[in-house]
Structure 1
Amino acid sequence: MGKPFLLPFIALIISALCAFVQSGDPYLFFTWNVNYATLSPFGVPQQVITINGQFPGPWINCTSNNNIVVNVFNNLDEPLLFTWNGIQQRKNSWQDGTLGTNCPIQPGTNYTYQFQVKDQIGSYYYYPTTALHRAAGGYGPINVHSRNLIPIPFDKPEGEFNVLVGDWYTKGHVTLKKFLDSGRSLGRPDGVIINGKSGNEAPTWNLIPGKVYRYRICNVGMKNSVNVRIQGHTMKLVEIEGSHTVQNVYDSLDIHLGQCYSVLVTADQTPKDYAFVVSTRFTKTVLTTTGTIHYEGSNIPASTELPAAPGNAPEGIAWSINQFRSLRWNLTASAARPNPQDEPPADAEDHITTAPNVVNGTFRNFIEIIFENHEKSIQAWHLSGYSFFAVAIEPGRWTPAKRANYNLIDAISRHTIQVYPNSWAAIMTTLDNCGMWNLRSVSLERNYLGQQLYISVLSPERSLRDEYLLPVGQLLCGIVKDLPVPAPPPPPPADA
């Protein structure tokens, strides 16, 4: 199996772009030293990617409109790139960190990412996009808080916890890459980890009785959806990938690859320990791991009887689709919002595009994307540069008549959508962010083998109002390595 089409696409986006500065908003500076370390996330010593000696990596804790500057020193023996999953990189696809829009950081060198979390709030994470580095870790949390003048639609919790969950292989990323290169599958993961730990090493969260806590939970795994539930407690959903939600209460939540959910948990039960349970979904063999919620002042261990997960396929898929339908955008909350959407044009079905490597989009045009999954396993898809409205997920095949079932009122605005087996999903957005943007499968295996494409959105006026210039010192490679840097656009005409 060959590697994905990637580097030649740099040529398609070499039009006039360069460094940007957002001088009016605060800057946060980070220095990351990326190394290999021998750790045992699942009880077996293996090579893991650490950042400043940490796995998971450092927490990026910022506020809407902050400028983030991350100087990455690549001490690995392979090229390296990071992407900032869900950060929209407004007018600045040069910092998105996906092969095809960015060249990798070579071993023994460094590169400085500079981007702004423009008009965003929410729970996100970063991870490496090169080779199969995601199978070795290198990921970490990103929290973007609302500015003080913008209220959030719930009382400030006593504390917040980042919870990065996902399936894990005990085979190293080099071995897994050889599997795919030789035409083999990655096979079934060996287990599930929480914040890089499992078993007796899994995390414990200390709660004060009577207080409310926010858990920001992201599925950073490689293959499987997961279900999250807490022994003896419910979860009030308050945010999904930057959108405040209608605050429904759930006993358990399905969280699919690449997705992030924020929930409020109240410590209102008998003081003792309770299990925080994460298990795989839609798999023949269910993999489960637990963390511990500990009430301060108690010494009673958690019960060994874990709360049951929802049923598996096929009834579990129907359950999960119904849960998706219950997710609603909180239209009364004050927060950064994407642009409102129009209804699809009447002739939209005449312009359906199927699987090109690059889709040429028109700046500020409306786009509707339909994902159909004809396979037996669930898929998840992520769009860089945008949030989109997840307007429908249904079983069967999509037809234009299905638009009658779209939620055009309060669909969640998010960046990653799941597509169940033998089902379809529809998303809508407006192409108001110039650049070259990656639309990809979040499955590590599928992504590595090329299940991705790019959406090119060009500024018709070549204006800095629409797209930043090529950053000074931008890494170049492939067929553009020796090409001259494009000239900047002409200055705007003087006022009459």
Structure 2
Amino acid sequence: MVFYTKMIFAVLFLCFSATCVIAGDPTLEFEWKVTYGTIAPLGVPQQGILINGQFPGPAINCTSNNNIVVNVFNQLDEPFLLTWAGIQQRKNSWQDGTPGAMCPILPGKNYTYRFQVKDQIGTYFYFPTTALHRASGGIGMLKVHSRPLIPIPYDNPAEEYPVLLGDWYNKGHKTLKSILDSGRSIGRPDGIQINGQSSKVGDANAKPLFTFEAGKTYKLRVCNVGLRLSVNFRVQGHTLKVVEVEGSHNVQNLYDSLDLHVGQCMSVLVTADQTPKDYYFVASSRFAQHPLSTVAVIRYVNGNGAASPELPPPPPENTKGIAWSISQFRSFRWNLTSNAARPNPQGSYKYGKINITRTIKIANSRSSSNGKLRFGINGVSHVDAETPLKLAEYYGVADKVFTYNLMKDEPQEGDKVEVAPNVVNGTYRNFVEIIFENHEKTIQTWHLDGFSFFAVAIEPGRWSPEKRKNYNLLDALSRNTIQVYPNSWAAVMTTLDNAGMWNLRSEMRERAYLGQQLYLSVVSEARSLRDEYSLPETQELCGIVKSLPKPAPYT
């Protein structure tokens, strides 16, 4: 008995000290080399960031509960990190890939990410969080399928295709970063790319984005990986059936076109029910002063004929366009009759009957500090510290790196902004309400790492407690990214049941880089492996903790 007990503790120690993969679930291993290379998404050659020589980077194609091991070799001339947007990293912010949680991978070094896609399904993507690297690539899709024993609420498609689209700048990431560091805005993008390409109507040399066979149904996994612009996409002559949004199966409706905001992903079904020939996949900007658009060709097998130059019209803009887009948001509702990643009905979680323990009201702001452009939240503009916030907290030296709760739970009056690491304490397992108020004339998008939240409402104007009567407390989507329209607000609810240091950020990369983000510190006082993994043995150390003795691991 003593022998077996020692064996069990030895396995547990090795497992959790390395942020282990979980025994019994399959492990997928990848080796990625991050390099520079020439790319031309808008037809203009420029230096891009490639993964294994590719842009977009290789897709991770996995199944719920798979263990993912990615060994990343940084062959750039700058520190580098990847984050796995939307993957909740249960008990494991050590692998989240944000500067507040991890030391960057130095040039010429490698780091192995280890995480599990625990109880998740859906369409996600990965991207760099260091500097402005996202502007030059390092982006790819992460697809999480349902396990075979759990049925999905639609027939299996004939094929599925990844579509990574978004705005693009012809200036490289170093130039864009230097513009921001000088105190100026990077301005408007130069165009829109689809899977690293951009075509014009009538371009006879355009390669097909993908092919359809008449009579079959295809699944398109679509993500907006841009830096600034919301995008509307549509397929000429075809309707789109939405079947999944950021990990949630939704009530299935048909759409002629769909708005997709920065950082958001969804899956749609398209049936090849038209005359076999070419058709255009169209992507155009939304709510932009200078509209942008691009097309890609969808080719029917044995088709005969070029795509029509008459493109399907975009939705309305300005006030009517915002009302149109809000209406579309409200049409996305959770499918309570389908199963989630686990074999229990999603509708069994009655989130609308849980008492709210805390309301955090956030207002984004644009201001100036020492003559330079800054973006902030409630009077605080975040800057990354030399020592990752999570490491400082774990080593017990947080007071030497940052101050908790500089940001208050309510927006502050005036234009003054404090430039400092922005860390907010969150009580473990509390049920919180977060209100995003947008007082500006441009659309905003927010993302929360480590959690999914229920997107219960979006409305024009200012939020007040009586607005709660308009919340969807029955079947709001569980997701991780929410848009906030100009002079509007959005409300989300979530349970802080995932211990760690988690990033809440603007998905507009310019805004996040210049301070429009915070870290939510969720600490389990038990310091137990039940709630959070210990510091992995292989974790890189930097800053003031590099020479400190390691704390005792969680037990």
Structure 2 match to 1:341: 351
State the distance in 2 between where 1:59 and 1:340 align. 34
1:69-108 → structure 2 map (5 Å cutoff):
69-108=69-108
Task: Give the CA deviation at 1:202.
Answer: 5.9
Whether the aligned pair in 1 keeps the contact of 2:359 and 2:433 (CA below 8 Å) is: no
Whether the aligned pair in 1 keeps the contact of 2:49 and 2:137 (CA below 8 Å) is: yes
Q: Give CA-to-partner distance per residue, 1:21-67, whole Å, 9 cap, x none.
A: 21121100000000000121111110100000010000100000000
Structure 2 match to 1:122: 122
Whether the aligned pair in 1 keeps the contact of 2:500 and 2:521 (CA below 8 Å) is: yes
Task: Give the CA deviation at 1:194.
Answer: 0.3
Using the size of structure 1 for normalisation, the TM-score is 0.93
Structure 1 match to 2:193: 193
- SS of equivalent residue, structure 1 residue 391: strand
State the distance in 2 between where 1:263 and 1:81 align. 30
Structure 1 match to 2:67: 67
Aligned match for 1:204, one of 193, 202, 209: 209
State the distance in 1 between where 2:451 and 2:360 align. 24
Structure 1 residues 293 and 66, CA, compared in 2 at 3 Å: closer, same or farther?
same
- SS of equivalent residue, structure 1 residue 485: coil
Structure 2 match to 1:9: none
Task: Give the CA deviation at 1:479.
Answer: 2.4
What letter is aligned with 1:354?
A: E
1:346-425 → structure 2 map (5 Å cutoff):
348=358, 353-354=409-410, 357-425=422-490
Task: Give the CA deviation at 1:341.
Answer: 2.0
Q: Give CA-to-partner distance per residue, 1:143-179, whole Å, 9 cap, x none.
A: 0000000000000000000000000000111110011
Matched, 1:44 2:44: yes
State the distance in 1 between where 2:83 and 2:359 align. 33
What letter is aligned with 1:165?
A: L
Task: Give the CA deviation at 1:18.
Answer: 3.7
- SS of equivalent residue, structure 1 residue 275: strand
Structure 1 match to 2:405: none
Structure 2 match to 1:489: 554
Structure 1 match to 2:183: 183
Structure 1 residues 347 and 209, CA, compared in 2 at 3 Å: closer, same or farther?
closer
State the distance in 2 between where 1:314 and 1:477 align. 49
- SS of equivalent residue, structure 2 residue 318: coil
Q: Which moved more, 1:181-190 or 1:18-27?
A: 18-27
State the distance in 2 between where 1:52 and 1:465 align. 37
Task: Give the CA deviation at 1:483.
Answer: 1.9
Task: Give the CA deviation at 1:73.
Answer: 0.3
Structure 2 match to 1:461: 526
Whether the aligned pair in 2 keeps the contact of 1:378 and 1:421 (CA below 8 Å) is: yes
Task: Give the CA deviation at 1:340.
Answer: 4.4
Aligned match for 1:213, one of 207, 211, 218: 218
1:463-478 → structure 2 map (5 Å cutoff):
463-478=528-543
Matched, 1:249 2:248: no
Task: Give the CA deviation at 1:344.
Answer: 6.2
1:251-400 → structure 2 map (5 Å cutoff):
251-336=256-341, 340-343=350-353, 345=355, 348=358, 353-354=409-410, 357-400=422-465
Structure 2 match to 1:438: 503
Structure 2 match to 1:134: 134
Using the size of structure 2 for normalisation, the TM-score is 0.83
Q: Give CA-to-partner distance per residue, 1:321-353, whole Å, 9 cap, x none.
A: 111011101011111359542546477569971
What letter is aligned with 1:103?
A: C
Whether the aligned pair in 2 keeps the contact of 1:194 and 1:203 (CA below 8 Å) is: no
Structure 1 gap ranges (5+): 1-16, 491-496
Structure 2 match to 1:174: 174
Whether the aligned pair in 1 keeps the contact of 2:192 and 2:293 (CA below 8 Å) is: yes
Report the identity percentage. 67
Task: Give the CA deviation at 1:253.
Answer: 0.3
Structure 1 residues 386 and 203, CA, compared in 2 at 3 Å: closer, same or farther?
farther
Task: Give the CA deviation at 1:358.
Answer: 1.4
Whether the aligned pair in 2 keeps the contact of 1:342 and 1:366 (CA below 8 Å) is: no
State the distance in 1 between where 2:206 and 2:168 align. 15
Q: Give CA-to-partner distance per residue, 1:429-481, whole Å, 9 cap, x none.
A: 10111101000000010010010001111112111111011111201112222
Q: Which moved more, 1:355-364 or 1:279-288?
A: 355-364
Runs (4 or more) in structure 1 with deviation over 4 Å come to 200-203, 337-340, 346-352
Task: Give the CA deviation at 1:201.
Answer: 4.6
State the distance in 2 between where 1:144 and 1:98 align. 21
State the distance in 2 between where 1:175 and 1:445 align. 13
State the distance in 2 between where 1:304 and 1:208 align. 22
Whether the aligned pair in 2 keeps the contact of 1:341 and 1:430 (CA below 8 Å) is: no
Structure 2 match to 1:12: none
Structure 1 match to 2:392: none
Structure 1 match to 2:240: 235
What letter is aligned with 1:279?
A: S
- SS of equivalent residue, structure 2 residue 351: coil
Structure 1 residues 235 and 174, CA, compared in 2 at 3 Å: closer, same or farther?
same
Structure 1 residues 28 and 315, CA, compared in 2 at 3 Å: closer, same or farther?
same
State the distance in 2 between where 1:78 and 1:162 align. 29
State the distance in 1 between where 2:134 and 2:352 align. 37
State the distance in 1 between where 2:207 and 2:193 align. 8
Task: Give the CA deviation at 1:314.
Answer: 1.6
Whether the aligned pair in 2 keeps the contact of 1:197 and 1:203 (CA below 8 Å) is: no
- SS of equivalent residue, structure 1 residue 290: strand
Matched, 1:19 2:18: yes
Whether the aligned pair in 1 keeps the contact of 2:244 and 2:250 (CA below 8 Å) is: yes
- SS of equivalent residue, structure 1 residue 370: strand
Q: Which moved more, 1:444-453 or 1:356-365?
A: 356-365
Whether the aligned pair in 2 keeps the contact of 1:202 and 1:290 (CA below 8 Å) is: no
Task: Give the CA deviation at 1:210.
Answer: 0.3
